[in-house]
Amino acid sequence: MARTKGAGNSAVDRIQDLILAEGMVPGDPMPTETALCERLEISRSSVREAMRTLASLDIVEVRHGHGTFVGQLSLSPLVNGLLFRARLDDGNDLRALREVVELRIAIDLSVAEQLVEIYRGTVNSELEDLVEEMRRLAKNGQPFPEADAAFHTALFSRLPNGLLRQLAQAFWEIHTTAVPLLDIVQSEDILVTVDAHQAMLTALEAGDADAYRDAVHEHYRPLGRTLDAAGRAAATAVTG
């Protein structure tokens, strides 16, 4: 196996190389700061700085009072960066948030055939219950982020591509976090979104990829209207 040479590389690279060389996996305890200084022949301040960078990338994870471990390599750095980008874009045309939503749609559509294969002819009471929970909350005028997250996570849970699942989750998180941060008022047709969740599930259980794709578009339509209205309000605030 090719190995990147340690010499000349940054402390970050050298710690990453060490994790690889030792065959460590997410959750394994990292060597102590002192051990890293000695093994990699770098200063304590370099080790400390590198570990902070690696922590911000979720390549290592600091559990306070318990030590440092190999991280979960999640997409949390992506979420942070894109959330910041969405907020930076605020007052403008909400383009960053629109782009995230477009990517959610693209991901949901890209797995239509795979999901049909998985769900055709099945009954999914867990997913049905989540739709009912959303409906109950929506009727009381309440938001339903937990049920919504649980629905999408459960729906995708049997897809084999873990990166796609994580990416879908990351974009869900950016979208759901950004909407309140940007003070966007959810449109009143939120019950349409609840019905669309039901329609997605019904279509998949019936093995109908086209109906699933229609339901995906329906699912994002109220949000599209919300973003359009917020975009118009921002434009009025600028020109008015």
- Which positions lie near a second copy, rule CB under 8 A? 1-2, 4, 16, 19-20, 25, 49, 52-53, 56-59, 73, 75, 77-78, 80-82, 84-85, 87-88, 90-91, 95-96, 99-100, 102-103, 106-107, 109-111, 161-164, 167, 180-183
Nearest to 200 by CA among 138, 111, 137: 111
Pick left, alpha or beta for residue 30 (phi over 0 → left; psi -120 to 50 → alpha; otherwise beta).
Answer: beta
- In angstroms, give the least distance from the CB of 13 to a second copy: 10
- In angstroms, give the least distance from the CB of 219 to a second copy: 16
Q: Closer CB to a second copy, residue 80 or residue 153?
A: 80
- In angstroms, give the least distance from the CB of 74 to a second copy: 8
**DSSP per-residue letters across 58-92:** TSEEEETTTEEEE----SHHHHHHHHHHHHHTTTT
- In angstroms, give the least distance from the CB of 138 to a second copy: 23
CA distance 209 to 110: 11
Q: Closer CB to a second copy, residue 113 or residue 132?
A: 113
Q: Closer CB to a second copy, residue 159 or residue 206?
A: 159
How far from the centroid of its chain's Cα atoms is residue 210's Cα? 25
